[in-house]
Structure 1
Amino acid sequence: MPAPLMSDRDLEFMLYELFDTEALTQRAQYADHNRETFDATLGTAKTVAEKVLLPFRQKADNEQPTFDGEKVHMIPDIKVGVDAIIESGLATPTASYETGGMQLPYIVANAATSYLVAAGGVATGYTGLTTANANLIEAHGNQEQIEKWVHPMRSGRFAGTMAMTEPGAGSGLADLTTTAVKQADGSFRVSGSKIFISGGDHELNENIVHLVLARVKGAPKGVKGISLFIVPKFLVNDDGSVGERNEVALAGLFHKMGGRAQTSTALSFGEQDGAVGYLVGEENKGLMYMFHMMNEARIMVGSSAAVTGVAGYQYSLDYAKERPQGRLLSEKDPHAPPVNIIEHPDIRRMLLAQKAYAEGALALCLYGSYLVDDEKTAATEEERQAAHTLLDFLTPIIKTWPSEYGPKANYFAIQVLGGHGYINEHPVEMFYRDNRLNPIHEGTTGIQSMDLLGRKVPMNGFAGYTACLNEIEKTIALAASRDNLSAYATQLADAVTLLKSTTEAVLGATQSQNIDAVFSNSVQYLEMFGHVVIAWLWLKQACVADLALEQQPHEADEQFYRGKLQAMQYFFRIELPEIRHWAKIIGEVDTTSYDMQAAWF
């Protein structure tokens, strides 16, 4: 019997015990739903994952897409998978009924998608970007654009991408050179090159809708002169049918270490007269609009990293329970039968580390999804704004901490399997390769750390920073009232105090010291803040588990809750103390890295 993709019990715990997802059904947006419909969605996702996606997971990893100079070719199983997701409604689960969606809460949709990602994540790479593309146009486009582009994407006829990165600019969007020239009919002609465009070309859908960042002729330099355009692979006729080919050409495919079945492309726009493009919103506000999609994609990347960490943990856990090898040091009889490797202390250490990383990361991503629901559907404008403020602040951490510690969990999964871990007869080496892309996707760890320290912390009078610490302190107060958790509450309170003093020190240093030197330690700051946030979410889980144990649950639940408490203990005793080392580096503005000269390498 194959290892489970996800722990059904853990998802149930996250949705209904840790986060009160059922309470969302009291809101008008979700009034048609209840726990039964939520569970049915999870069940559907699990079925699609196990019956459709899982059987070709290894094949998709081994047989990458190819380009013959005219078309992209890939194994037919991928289209079967994409179509299955679309037909099940899981491609657009949060969209409104009017645009063809299921109008589900984001947290439920994210939990359901976890099964699909754990089964390989191949098809969700295409459908997830399409949904984010449609969401952006729905939020910032006009009604004609919604009718022409969003509805076909929601139905699965069209796919969608985001096209930002250029060969000469990379993450430096201020230096992009793609241009747009306005035409008499109000459209634009777009010319330029983009690289690393996920899902940039394929034959899975009738059309591909590219959201392209470009600079209108005469626009200001830098990010303030960037506009956003809808540039389709094929033009669309007035009746909605697909027309002639636009000037969007596939220049080539990149071949990645992971996520191999999703095309990564170099695209050329407008090699002759210019590709036909349609302005979204107003000129020179493109980057602001694109952040709508980028922030959604960042939560998607963090969630993918967390789930891939969970998938590796589940597989290595199953393996450790079934694999007999060796004897404990305490066993002196050489004739005694070997024990399953889960009995060995070092295997338990690595499994517990995986659990702490992966389930902590998953809790963070689901919390972010709940904030999305609050931002969109909370009862009052004040509550919606509060959710927006907190989500905006946490987004760099939601994207980055799982994408750094998810691969660490996968590293341990490989190690648990030993020699079997690095051969592709087992999927844990693929999980590691897939997950290693996530620290780079949608803004590298370094970029996210500068965003957190330089923008998100001081923004709006420290509003997001303060809101985050207030939430943490609420949990500290709750845990402090429980005998079994009070010591951990004190430890987290001390961590928050250290975080505050470190933040004051580093921001103070920006006023008196070289800003480049100060920010050379921004990654350590993000990692420190991330550890405090994950410790908070583990303490939240521990509060739920400790209370549940008082109710004397049945044996399976008792073991589940004790596992939660042990993982929390691991994080607090082994991981959280790391922040003291980072605090010293950050607070004292250690310049060891900064002082290294290029010539010295």
Structure 2
Amino acid sequence: MIPYTAPVADLRFLLHHVVGLDRVAALPGCDGATPDLVDAVLEEAGKFAAGVLAPLNRVGDRRGSVLENGVVRTPEGWADAYRQFVEAGWTSLPFEPEHGGQGLPWTVQFAVQEMWQGANLSFGLCPLLTQGAVDLLSEHGSAEQKALYLPRLVSGEWTGTMNLTEPQAGSDLAAVRTRAVRAGDGSYRITGQKIFITYGDHDLTGNIIHLVLARLPDAPAGVKGISLFVVPKILVNPDGTPGDRNDVRCASLEHKLGIMASPTAVMAFGDDGGAIGYLVGEENRGLEYMFTMMNNARLGVGLQGVAIAERAYQQARDYARTRVQSRAPGDAKGGPAPIIRHPDVRRMLLEMRAAAEASRALALYAGTQLDTARHHPDAAARAAAQARIDLVTPVVKAWSTDIGVEVASLGVQVHGGMGFIEETGAAQHYRDARILPIYEGTNGIQANDLAFRKVGRDGGAAARAFLAEMRDTVAALEALPGDDAAAIRRHLAEGIDALEEATEWMVRTQGEGDAVAAAAAATPYLRLWGTVAGGWMMARAAAAALDALRRSGADAAFAQAKLVTARFYAEQCLPRTRGLLPAVVTARHTVTAMAEEWF
């Protein structure tokens, strides 16, 4: 497998020149994110990702995690890598210093997190879930729960999990049957089974803190009757020392298409009388609380899509540079040439590169909005940023993970027949990527969330504000010279027009009460959002590249490559919006027209 190189240069460029890390660093509580510190963090993260995590990626895929005599064992090298990860402080980067965190912005955490996922997706899943558990308990846990659990989760001494899905309740959490019974001493007894639990059990840490959705006997029906509980693998004494083993165990590990080294567990709670759990917040508000963790995870999964796209691109690019096959078009006298000289291979590589860079920029932009929503001193600014992060979360999750699968598939194609052979490693990226559009809410669910909750609920107000900001970029491009800026501006303006028309159709259709038509159009609508938002970020990157080319001392080759990639996205990707708009407004005519028995 071709070695992984962390995309430090592009991350640094985006943070400092495109998404506005300087504005984030000016917020209260974020002032530690100085340019020198951030650059140092990126460099060290890149070294760790490439030097420690990436070499284990292939090992993990071949050997996987196994359940032996009731103990889940991760692949060789995993435990040592996790120890180094913790000792280096990577688990604590974005969290509050009062719990042992380093207090850096989530924007920086997103940049670093992409490197973990790109180097080793199976490994990166463990800290991804733990950071979501920290986020949830920080927001909704009691003072005692925060004091007991957060320092050890932040430090990485313990890890966290999310326990939602059950055999009969996938995305339909109203069907959750896991039961919680009041024990009379302030605790609850939890009984039931959860499936698809990422890192539900493992040998990396001495304790695992499970966050579990369960239903009380007298709870109301549906999602309003779900409560949330902390269920430690090892019970914790009030002084933080380990107590007895709780009544929770890994019943089995799933056999999967990809992410082999990530132990995806079937968890059994209460086989011997009931696992001891502790209520988070109030009874029957568990799903509301769990959305804090889910939204954190959705952004993290979107970053996984970016990361796997980058990894697949790197591998395909390096393979294309060395694979000699056929004479290149236009070279009448030459012999066989590296396939990177063939136009169709170059087209695929540019498609991969542009998609990875556009989705990366959008994810980092989402990080800036998250930091602004949490730290800005002005309430109106916080509210506006929260509306923006709410809007882009389903787009980052769904659009970026679709991109991860598509780019990984193109990576196999660039390799040709060798891509279908496991030894090259291209197939692993494709297999690993395929889970991303499914978990943390399928991409269809994300599309419905965007259409109904994020656009329909406020009558399109947040969407219109975002569209207005995109149009400001179009106006700014008018002042820039050259054909590149003109081409990017023209295609971006056309894409924004299509998205605006689709948005007004979506708002109007829901206002007319036609939820079926809106739902039928939701997926192409989200794809339209992602394509245009990605084009907007690439346009901003192009403007920054043009500025760099005017300055002495700038990396001219990097800037020129960024400009070419941005123009490729504008001319080859943004025109697809012209097809997505009709797909949105006409979907109702055919999607629901087929009788069930005709399928």
Aligned counterpart for 1:371 among listed residues 369, 379, 387: 369
Instruction: Report % sequence identity.
Output: 36
Is the counterpart of residue 560 in structure 1 residue 558 in structure 2? yes
Moved more, 413-422 or 91-100: 413-422
- Looking at structure 2, the residues matched to 406 and 479 of structure 1 have their Cα atoms a distance apart, in angstroms, of 29
Looking at structure 1, the residues matched to 562 and 413 of structure 2 have their Cα atoms a distance apart, in angstroms, of: 23
Partner deviation per Cα, 1:391-450 (whole Å, 9 max, x = no partner):
011100010111001221111222222233222332322111111111001111110111
Q: Does 2:479 correspond to 1:470?
A: no
Instruction: Say which SS state the counterpart of residue 125 (structure 1) adopts.
Output: helix
Q: Give the equivalent residue in structure 2 for 1:579.
A: 577
Give a deviation string over 1:516-563, Cα, whole Å, max 9, x none: 344122111111111111111111111111222233655xx2222222
Deviations 1:331-361 (Å, cap 9, x if unpaired)?
333xx34322211111110110001111111
Evaluate the alpha carbon distance shift between residue 564 and residue 161 of structure 1 in structure 2; reply closer, same or farther with a 3 A threshold.
same
The 1-side partners of 2:33 and 2:169 are apart by 46
2:453 to 435, 452, 455: 455
Secondary structure of 1:209's match? Answer: strand
Give the letter aligned to residue 505 of structure 2.
Answer: A
Q: Residue 85 of structure 2 corresponds to which residue in structure 1?
A: 85
Match for residue 425 of structure 1 among 412, 423, 426: 423
**Are the equivalent residues in 2 in contact too, given 1:180–1:189 (CA < 8 A)?**
yes
Q: What is the SS of the residue equivalent to 2:369?
A: helix
Q: What is residue 263 of structure 1 aligned with on the other side?
A: 263
1:42-53 to 2 correspondences below 5 Å: 42-53=42-53
SS at match of 1:331: coil
Change (3 A) 1:239 1:506: closer
Q: In the alignment, does 2:237 pair up with 1:221?
A: no
Q: Could you tell me how far 1:3 is from its partner in structure 2?
A: 4.4
The answer to whether 1:330 aligns with 2:324 is no
- Stretches of structure 2 that go unaligned for 5 or more consecutive residues are none
Distance 1:250 1:493, change over 3 A: same
SS of the aligned residue for 1:29 comes to: coil
2:596 maps to which of 591, 595, 598 = 598
Give the partner amino acid of 2:218: G
Describe the SS at the equivalent of 1:521. helix
Q: Match of 1:384?
A: 382
Match of 2:146 in 1: 146
SS in 1 for 2:408: helix
1:244 Cα deviation from its structure 2 partner = 1.3
Distance 1:514 1:467, change over 3 A: closer
The aligned runs of 1:305-324 (5 Å cut-off) are 305-324=305-324
CA distance in 1, matches of 2:267, 2:589: 40
User: How far apart are the structure 1 equivalents of 2:25 and 2:15?
Assistant: 13
Change (3 A) 1:4 1:55: closer
- State how far apart, in whole Å, the 2-side matches of 1:165 and 1:503 are: 32
Number of matched pairs? 597
Partner of 2:398: 400
> Deviation of residue 86 (structure 1)?
1.0
Where does structure 1 lack aligned partners over 5 or more consecutive residues? Answer: none
> Which residue of the partner structure matches residue 97 of structure 1?
97
Aligned to 1:524: 524
Looking at structure 2, the residues matched to 503 and 427 of structure 1 have their Cα atoms a distance apart, in angstroms, of 41
Q: Which residue identity does 1:397 align to in structure 2? A: V
Q: Contact (CA 8 Å) 1:480, 1:487: kept in 2 or not?
A: no
Do the aligned partners of residues 384 and 510 (structure 1) sit closer, same or farther apart at CA in structure 2, a change above 3 Å counting? closer
In the other structure, the counterpart of 1:292 is 292
* Residue of structure 2 equivalent to 1:173: 173
Q: Structure 1 pair 418/153, CA: closer, same or farther in 2 (3 Å)?
A: same
* SS of residue paired to 1:118: helix
Q: Is the 8 A contact 2:89 2:155 kept in 1?
A: no
Structure 2 Cα separation of the partners of residues 316 and 569 of structure 1: 21
* Aligned residue runs from structure 1 range 333-344, under 5 A: 333=333, 336-344=334-342
Give the number of the structure with larger relative contact order, counting CA–CA contacts within 8 Å between residues 6 or more apart.
2
- Structure 2 contact 487–570 (Cα < 8 Å) conserved: no
Shift of 1:366: 0.9
Does 2:68 correspond to 1:63? Answer: no
* Alignment check: 8 A CA contact 1:82 1:124 kept: no
Q: Is the 8 A contact 2:3 2:50 kept in 1?
A: no
Structure 2 residue 351 is matched with structure 1 residue 358: no
Aligned partner of 1:348 among 346, 349, 367: 346
Q: 1:354 to 1:154 in 2, by over 3 A?
A: same
**Structure 2 residue aligned with 1:491:** 491
Report the 3-state secondary structure (helix = DSSP H, G, I; strand = E; otherwise coil) of the residue aligned with 1:520.
helix
How far the C-alpha of 1:68 sits from its partner, in A, is: 2.7
How far is the alpha carbon of 1:281 from its aligned partner? Answer: 0.8
| Aligned residue type for 1:101 | G
- The answer to whether the Cα contact below 8 Å between 1:65 and 1:72 also exists between their aligned partners in 2 is yes
Q: CA deviation at 1:598?
A: 2.8
- C-alpha root-mean-square deviation of aligned residues, in Å? 1.9
Looking at structure 1, the residues matched to 230 and 7 of structure 2 have their Cα atoms a distance apart, in angstroms, of: 40
Structure 2 CA distance, aligned partners of 1:351 and 1:439? 22
Residue correspondence of structure 1 range 106-121 to structure 2 within 5 A: 106-121=106-121
Taking structure 1 as the reference length, the TM-score comes to 0.95
Amino acid at match of 2:480: R
3-state SS, counterpart of residue 372 of structure 1: helix
CA offset at residue 127 of structure 1? 1.6
Separation (CA, whole Å) in 2 of partners of 1:33 and 1:568: 28
Cα distance, 1:474 vs. partner? 1.7
Residue of 439, 456, 468 corresponding to 2:437 = 439
Deviates more, 1:105-114 or 1:545-554: 545-554
Query: C-alpha separation between the residues in 1 aligned to 2:388 and 2:578?
Result: 25
Cα distance in structure 2, aligned partners of 1:428 and 1:354:
14
Q: Answer whether contact 1:323 1:340 (CA < 8 A) is retained.
A: yes
Structure 1 residues 510 and 178 mapped into 2: Cα distance closer, same or farther (>3 Å)?
Answer: same
**Aligned position for 1:536:** 536
Distance in 2 between residues matched to 1:507 and 1:18, nearest whole Å: 31
Measured after TM superposition, the shift of residue 587 of structure 1 is 1.3
Does the residue aligned with 2:424 lie in a helix, a strand or coil? coil
Deviates most, 272-281 or 557-566: 557-566
**1:469–1:496 CA contact under 8 A, matched in 2:** yes
**How many Å apart are 1:382 and its aligned residue?**
2.0
Contact 1:130 1:161 in 2 (8 A): yes
